[in-house]
A and B are shown apart, each in its own frame.
Chain A
Amino acid sequence: DSGVTQTPKHLITATGQRVTLRCSPRSGDLSVYWYQQSLDQGLQFLIQYYNGEERAKGNILERFSAQQFPDLHSELNLSSLELGDSALYFCASSVGLGDGYTFGSGTRLTVV
């Protein structure tokens, strides 16, 4: 157990739907990162939060959004889902900025 908790582990949904992925960072970590991993693209950075504030954005689609709450857990919202959004979504956390990350076990999203 890495200390980073992601739920749900698996999610199957239809095109056009909206889902929310949840991440609880390791105790004491202030930074949360979201990554998408698909067969073709490897691990792609989506977005980062630090102590509740958005810190950096990567290749995140406008249909996707995220937030970090006062208790430091984070949610990634994916809307108007398309078949191509099927992927593994990983959350990672770190103590601060520029530190190594600890990853959760991921959420596998399947859009049908």
Chain B
Amino acid sequence: GESVGLHLPTLSVQEGDNSIINCAYSNSASDYFIWYKQESGKGPQFIIDIRSNMDKRQGQRVTVLLNKTVKHLSLQIAATQPGDSAVYFCAEILGNTPLVFGKGTRLSVIA
């Protein structure tokens, strides 16, 4: 498959463990945040989003935490599975401006 960002930070976790992927966003005025998952050879896929008036949102096996004080987002994946192996990007939106992506983190799940 295609390589996405050879120089990305990498997180390696054991199958079944929880994963935490962190992201520092750039604009304190951003009001909408999204986590995307990108598997090899595919486009980014929406995972979960959060508005700036919230500090936590839960989905199926995923939780996003937002700390506006330090401009920090995290994505928590419970009971990580081999299918979770991918590159994860956080992205931010301010109003109607285009999505701005962070650099990405490669998650590697060890079976």
On whether the beta carbons of A2 and B43 are closer than 8 Å, the reply is: yes
Assuming the contacts A48-B98, A56-B97, A98-B95, asked whether A105 and B43 have C-beta atoms less than 8 A apart, the reply is yes
Is B3's beta carbon under 8 Å from chain A? yes
Assuming the contacts A42-B104, A43-B44, A103-B44, asked whether A88 and B99 have C-beta atoms less than 8 A apart, the reply is no
Q: Which DSSP category, helix, strand, loop or mixed, fits chain B's interface?
A: loop
Is A97's beta carbon under 8 Å from chain B? yes
Assuming the contacts A39-B7, A102-B46, asked whether A88 and B2 have C-beta atoms less than 8 A apart, the reply is yes
Is A106's beta carbon under 8 Å from chain B? yes
Closest residue on chain B to residue A4 by CB atoms = B43
Total interface residues on A, using CB and 8 Å? 26
In Å, the complex CA distance between A98 and B94 comes to 8
Closest residue on chain B to residue A94 by CB atoms = B99
On whether the beta carbons of B34 and A90 are closer than 8 Å, the reply is: no
Is B52's beta carbon under 8 Å from chain A? no
Contact of A103 among B5, B41, B43, B104 (CB under 8 A): B43
Is B65's beta carbon under 8 Å from chain A? no
